[in-house]
């Protein structure tokens, strides 16, 4: 899309409730990513580079990130790839890392809060600390990332915030309480933020994947319906992010329907949906 087409497109579509009219036309191709050492994050790092983004990649396992940087720099020599060790539960370190990325790139265009953890197990069976750790990473860690991102984007008047939630944010699945609660919480957090930033030039995108083949769910084996590989998942996620989607199930089919149904199933049916 060129500069002359954009005002027309905005005039036509800007009033629709699912398109943020303040979305900047050409976001700077720089991205900050959490959870880049594995699964979706690792594949997203490669997809971002392939699409021309300079990237600042974070996770706790720096040695894995160093390997990834070597691979990406060889494949995309024109791209700038920075890696940094970061635990998203250390909130001040998260803010420092976002600032560092912004300084390094002379401003950030996109921040993706992707880091996530899981622990399945029933409530009241001695797993409280493990359950709390899931919320620490998935909700508070993502909030810390998003808070730092928004502070930066407000100061420069634009950008895109992306939070990776899950289709299971739509329901509380038995045995998955902390994961479902953390993703539901993040979904609502992003929804509040979207209202705060509507028409501000800062886009807020919620990405809700279905099953993508990564270590977080590999123990489920063949009990992962509609499973896709990480490369396909990352490509579809980036397509939705770059389209400026507000809420993106990935892949859209069948997960938009599944998400709709999950939110409406009565408990007697929902209790049979157990990962
Ligand atoms: N795969 C799916 O089917 C699926 C479906 C819905 C939603 N999701 C969401 O997608 C996101 C990525 O998950 P994935 O499937 O790619 O899982 P994964 O392969 O297990 O990757 C999880 C990533 O999060 C990072 N991480 C975990 N704890 C962290 C912490 N305290 N601080 C910083 N980074 C941390 C891990 O890096 P380090 O261990 O190196 O820190 C790793 O890079 C998660 O938010 C997950 O909930 C996945």
CATH of the domain at 233: 3.40.50.720
pTM attached to this predicted model: 0.92
Is 8 inside any structural domain?
A: no
Instruction: Express each pLDDT in 171-183 by its tens digit.
Output: 999 999 999 999 9
CB of 133 closer than 8 Å to CB of 182: no
Atom of ligand 1 nearest to the CA of 115: 24
Mean pLDDT of the region 223-250: 97
- Cα(44) to ligand 1 centroid in Å equals 12
Atom of ligand 1 nearest to the CA of 88: 32
Is 225 inside any structural domain?
A: yes
Instruction: Express each pLDDT in 73-117 by its tens digit.
Output: 999 999 999 999 999 999 999 999 999 999 999 999 999 999 999
Please provide the size of the chain in residues. Answer: 275
Give the domain range for residue 126. 26-270
- Cα(42) to ligand 1 centroid in Å equals 10
CB of 72 closer than 8 Å to CB of 80: no
Is 13 inside any structural domain?
A: no
Burial 98-110 (b: 16+ CB within 10 A, else e): beebbeebebbbb
CB under 6 Å to ligand 1: residues? 34-41, 59-61, 86-89, 114-117, 137, 141, 164, 166, 209, 211-212, 214-217
Mean pLDDT of the region 122-146: 97
Domain count, the chain: 1
Is 170 inside any structural domain?
A: yes
pLDDT level of residue 25 (50, 70, 90 thresholds): very low
Is 72 inside any structural domain?
A: yes
CB of 134 closer than 8 Å to CB of 118: yes
Instruction: Express each pLDDT in 43-71 by its tens digit.
Output: 999 999 999 999 999 999 999 999 999 99
Is 143 inside any structural domain?
A: yes
pLDDT value of position 6:
43
pLDDT level of residue 28 (50, 70, 90 thresholds): confident
pLDDT value of position 7:
46
């Amino acid at each position: 899309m060129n500069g002359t087409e954009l005002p027309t497109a905005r005039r036509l579509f800007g009033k629709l409730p699912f398109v943020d009219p303040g979305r900047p036309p050409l976001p700077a191709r720089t991205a900050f990513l959490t959870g880049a050492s594995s699964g979706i994050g690792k594949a997203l790092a490669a997809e971002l580079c392939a699409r021309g983004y300079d990237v600042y990649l974070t996770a706790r396992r720096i040695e894995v990130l160093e390997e990834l940087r070597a691979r990406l720099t060889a494949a995309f020599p024109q791209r700038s790839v920075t890696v940094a060790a970061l635990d998203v539960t250390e909130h001040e370190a998260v803010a420092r890392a976002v600032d560092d990325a912004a300084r390094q790139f002379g401003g950030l265009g996109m921040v993706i809060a992707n880091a996530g953890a899981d622990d399945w197990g029933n409530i009241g069976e001695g797993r409280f600390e493990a359950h709390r750790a899931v919320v620490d990473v998935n909700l508070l860690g993502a909030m810390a990332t998003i808070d730092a991102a928004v502070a930066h984007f407000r100061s420069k008047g634009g950008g895109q915030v992306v939070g990776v939630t899950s289709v299971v944010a739509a329901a509380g699945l038995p045995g998955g309480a902390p994961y479902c609660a953390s993703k539901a919480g993040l979904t609502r957090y992003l929804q509040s933020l979207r209202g705060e930033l509507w028409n501000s030039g800062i886009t807020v995108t919620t990405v809700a994947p279905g099953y993508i083949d990564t270590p977080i769910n590999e123990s489920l084996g063949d009990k992962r319906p509609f499973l896709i590989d990480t490369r396909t998942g990352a490509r579809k996620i980036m397509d939705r992010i770059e389209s400026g989607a507000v809420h993106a199930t990935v892949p859209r089919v069948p997960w938009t329907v599944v998400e709709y149904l999950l939110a409406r199933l009565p408990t007697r049916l929902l209790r049979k949906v157990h990962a």
